[in-house]
Each structure stands twice: as C-alpha cells, then as structure tokens.
Amino acid sequence: MGNISRRQFNRRLSQGIAGSALFSSVPLACAMAGTKSREESLGIALVGLGSYSTYQLAPALQDTKFCHLAGIVTGTKAKERIWAERYGIPAGNIYNYQNFDTIADNDDIDVVYVVLPNSMHAEFSIRAAQAGKHVICEKPMAVTVAECDAIIEACRKAGVKLGIGYRLHSEPYTQEVKRFVREKTFGKTAYVNAEAAYRSAGNPDQWRLNKALSGGGALMNMGVYSIQSTIYATGENPVKVTAQEFSTRPDYFKDTDETVTAQFQFPGGATGTVFTSHNANANSLYASCTGGWFSLKPANNYGPLAGESSNGPIQFKHESQQKLQMDDFASHILYGSVNRAPGEMGKRDMIIIEAIYRSISEGNRSVPLELGNMGLV
C-alpha cells in the first residue's frame, strides 16, 4: 500500500460517510441476501464498501439471476451494521481485512469481488484465490504487470476462475460494436478515436489522487475505457504507442497524471487516438471504416448509452451493466459460458498502460508492443 497504511485508508474512506446517510439514495432491497438457492445462484462477497459497491454493485445484485449478495468485507464497523440491516447479511458472512482469510471456511460465499483502491487489488485477489474463492477484480487489474501475473498465477494454482470488472463487455452496445468489427458490417476499421474523461473537483485528498493507492491518475482510471474502446473497435491489439501528458492544475493534481493522450498503430493498418483526463468531460467512441462508420456517445458511463452508424441509429434497452457483468461471470463459472473479461485482458491493458507511461517518461517516443491476441475475447 505504499506510503499509506490500511488503517489510514479506512479512516479516510469513512470520513463524511457515516450512519444511514451511506444508503440515502439506495432503494430498499427487494431481495435479501441468501434468498436464491445455491443450485441456481452463486454467493458474492464484496470487498470494500465504497461508492461503487454501495450505489452500483449491491443494488445490481438484487436483480441478478445467477448470483446474489452473500457477504461483505469492510474495515468500518458502522458499515457492517448498515449493510447487515439493509441486505439481511448474517453476522457469519461479515468480515474485516484482518480476518478475511477465514472466508475459506464459508460455503455461502463462492465469489469474492475486490472493489478496493488499485494498490490493494493484488493482495486481496490473491488472498481470495488462496481461500478457494473465484475472483472478480475491479479495474484496473493491478498497478503493475508483475502484480497481474501474480494474480493470474494464484488463481491458476488454486483452480478458481478470474474475471476483471469490465462491465462494458457485457452490455449490448459494446457487443454490437464487436459484432460490426467481427462481421465487417462497415468494412475494415481505418481510424478510431476514443475519449473517456471527467472533471475532478472534489476532495484533493481522495484516494484516486494518491499515487500510493491509485498507481496513477486519469490513465489508470478512465484511460482503461478509451484504450479498450480502440481495441474492440478494431478487433486487434495495438503494436505501437506514442503518448503525451498535460497538466493545467498542478496544485490539485500533485501526485497523479491529469490528462493523457496517446496514438496507437494496429497490425491491420488502422490508427487510433485516445484521450483521458481527470480535468475534462469526454465520453465517446468513433470509428471510420472502409465502408461506413459507427459511433457511441455516451460510450463508457453507467448508461444508458447511445449509438449511431452510417446505417442509422443503434438502439438497445438499458439494463444495469453491473448486473449483466456479474451474471455473465457467474454463468461462466456455473455453465462454462465465455469469460468476457479474463485476467489476460486485465494484464494486457496494464502492459499498454506501462508502455504509455514509458513513452511519456522517455520524451514521447514511440514504444513497441508485442501483445499478439492477448486478452481478445
């Protein structure tokens, strides 16, 4: 965890988030933990009860078909009581970071979803695997490629499944883009531009602005979406990247990157540009092809997304991306369906991120990438 202890992290996380206010905008759960039979549903334990678990994952788990909220792991006593009351979680399924490893003895929990700051992903993904639990690791997978390798090896050795929290791979607009590319609906992609950014104006002490916890700034957070967009819009991994970094608020972004742009070359001849930032709002994907074009705008938020193409509008009914993602992973475990976001995909993206940082640190020079088909699903 670098320069910050877990105790300090828990204290920072709990500042301003106490009592019932934690769930002030979350509707009362319609289904309580453990109400679905184990034959048809896997029990998931959420590790880390920040805003994503609170407002996205836990509510989504009330509507999932193949999995349900079975347990929690938190370092905050107040959250234990609130979550137990809200979701009917029994005391035996509530853990903290110190006794987490005893989760190995709990048959109610099949999957551990690690939703902690990036620097803690490797530790708890590995501990979950060693406890014999399947693992979903929130993106980015880790803060180094070496940590990605360690997670993959731990899951392989334990014989458990590993998925990365890439929700977009389970939602229909992204799947339609993949179909366009696979079937060459608009011919071959020649150029793609992807943007994923938001303006951060909150607490300057938040963990995303602390490199010891985040591993990086906008690139590690939103940049993953823009990188992935260029990949599934071409159907290929890049072979070369050149990148630049910009900072206009150094007083606020003291420890992490504010804005990053990068240019990709793909083996089939396509070129791509990405933009990511914590100091601007951007959310789009555009691909120009030999026989037309397609775009998504918005392309990477929680939805609803929207799209159009040279053939007309792209329209799908909106559903919770988190619900679709977790059901897809549970189905992979239960029925052997495709793992839409395997560990190799998370590792590939970390290789690209490290190459982008390397390009920036070495004077914006072009950095080769040898990825082959790694992570393409």
Supply the residues annotated as catalytic.
139, 225
- Answer yes or no: are the C-beta atoms of 260 and 243 closer than 8 Å: yes
Q: How far apart are CA 349 and CA 371, in angstroms?
A: 10
In DSSP terms, 42 is beta-bridged to: 67
Q: How far apart are CA 350 and CA 55, in angstroms?
A: 27
Phi and psi at residue 136, to the nearest 5°: -110, 125
Q: Which amino acid is at 139?
A: K
In DSSP terms, 244 is beta-bridged to: 261
Q: How far apart are CA 278 and CA 264, in angstroms?
A: 21
Q: How far apart are CA 290 and CA 288, in angstroms?
A: 7
Phi and psi at residue 74, to the nearest 5°: -150, 155
- Answer yes or no: are the C-beta atoms of 141 and 151 closer than 8 Å: yes
Which among 317, 267, 294 has a CA at the least distance from the CA of 193? 294
